[in-house]
Amino acid sequence: MVKIISAAPSLAGPLLRLHFHDCFVRGCDASVLLDSTKGNLAERDAKPNKSLRGFGSVERVKAKLEAACPGVVSCADVLTLMARDAVVLAKGPSWPVPLLTRIFASKGLDLKDLVVLSGAHTLGTAHCPSFADRLYNTTGNGLVDPSLDSEYADKLRLKCKSVDDKSMLSEMDPGSYRTFDTSYYRHVAKRRGLFRSDAALLTDATTEEYVRHVATGKFDDAFFRDFQRVHDQDGQHRRAYRP
């Protein structure tokens, strides 16, 4: 989106309008992207929509998402996310899009399950490109993501010199990335989660309550039980739907 709006700043409005027209007719179902067929006039070809623009940009973004994670992000979600990012890049407000919530719900999981499974970020490392947009391109002008602790952001910037820096790794749970424990939640509670999905856990009352509850360090056993339960539940779901 940064590249799209940087190359064509005037597209911010059309992308927002595209999302509005999609949702206004029959709900946010991406039907505005469909082409007309013989005997059926598509929404995009209806008279009020003749002036809509941005279809090519949507197709490019969707293609990149499908290449990275096939079948995960729907066309309707792409329109919603692009509209949100267009507003942000035009120096407007940002807002959370409950994409993960919908994905988890489709798997029979709920918000608590989401925040429990996020605890897996206590293990491992990540390359800079997976999170560096929070350090340099939040609004397209180089500003740090405001949901990220400034001191932590400064440390990450020392490691990741640019968004495309693939040479460096950062611990997802600094100081404890080889041990499965609850320190991840303490980092998230301090706004030191590495990914946007980590920061998003503090934007919902249910997930924030769980984060701060576990972050006290008094409920490790309860978290371990929750984690085992969710993994067992997910495994049963996969077996039930296995062809």
CA-to-CA distance for 230 and 13, rounded, in angstroms? Answer: 42
Residue 54 annotated as binding?
no
| Dist. CA 92–CA 141, nearest whole Å | 13
**Under a CB-based contact definition with an 8 Å cutoff, are residues 182 and 214 in contact?**
yes
Rg (CA), the chain: 20
181 annotated to bind ligand: yes
- Is residue 232 marked as binding? no
Return the active site residues.
21
Is position 22 annotated in a ligand binding site?
yes
Half-sphere exposure of 93 (CA within 13 A, CB side): 3
Tens of each residue's pLDDT in the chain, 243 residues: 888 888 888 888 888 888 877 776 566 778 888 888 888 888 888 876 777 889 999 999 999 988 887 887 888 888 888 888 888 887 776 666 666 666 666 666 778 888 988 898 888 888 888 888 888 865 555 678 888 999 999 999 998 887 777 888 899 999 988 888 999 999 999 999 999 889 989 988 889 999 999 999 999 999 998 888 876 664 444 344 334
Convert the chain into a string of H (helix), E (strand) and C (coil). Answer: CHHHHHHCHHHHHHHHHHHHHHHHHHCCCCHHHCCCECCECCHHHCHHHCCCCCHHHHHHHHHHHHHHCCCCCCHHHHHHHHHHHHHHHCCCCCCCCCHHHHHHHHCCCCHHHHHHHHHHHHCCEEEHHHCCHHHHCCCCCCCCCCCCCHHHHHHHHHHCCCCCCCCCEEECCCCCCCCCCCHHHHHHHCCCCCCHHHHHCCCCHHHHHHHHHHHCCCCHHHHHHHHHHHHHHHHHHHHHCCC
Count, residues in the chain: 243
Please give the Cα distance from 25 to 38 (Å, whole number). 21
Q: Is 118 annotated as a binding residue?
A: no
Q: Is 187 annotated as a binding residue?
A: no
- For the chain, list the domains and their CATH numbers: 2-95 (1.10.520.10), 111-240 (1.10.420.10)
